[in-house]
Amino acid sequence: MVIEEEKESLIKEIVERELNMFLATPNEGGTSPCQTRPQSFRLMRRMNHCTHDKATLESYLQDLREAEEAGRNVMIEKYARMDDRIPPLSESPFLDAIADMELEFLIEAAERYPHAITVGDHTFFRKYMRCELETLSDRTLELYAGELKKAREESRNPVLERYDYLWSTLGEGSLAEYENRLAAKR
* pLDDT mean by block of 10 residues, the chain; 186 residues: 86 97 85 83 96 97 98 95 94 96 96 93 92 97 98 97 94 92 90
Contact 77, 135 (CB under 8 A): yes
Buried b (16+ CB within 10 A) or exposed e, 11-49: beebbebbbebbeebeeeeeeeeeeeeeeebbbebbbbb
Give dist(CA 60, CA 44) in Å, integer. Answer: 17
Q: Which pLDDT score is estimated for 186?
A: 80
Q: What share of the chain is helix, strand, coil (3-state, %, to 5)?
A: 70, 0, 30
Q: Which pLDDT score is estimated for 44?
A: 95
What Rg, from alpha-carbon coordinates, does the chain have? Answer: 17
The candidate with the shortest Cα–Cα distance to 2, out of 11, 118, 70, is 11
pTM: 0.92
Q: Which pLDDT score is estimated for 162?
A: 96
The H or E element spanning position 176 is helix 175-184
Give dist(CA 166, CA 18) in Å, integer. Answer: 19
Contact 159, 105 (CB under 8 A): yes
Give dist(CA 38, CA 45) in Å, integer. Answer: 10
Q: Which long-range contacts (CB under 8 A, 24 or more apart) does 168-171 make?
A: 168/1, 169/43, 169/46, 169/47, 170/43
Q: Which pLDDT score is estimated for 2?
A: 66
Determine phi and psi for 61, rounding to 5 degrees.
Answer: -60, -40
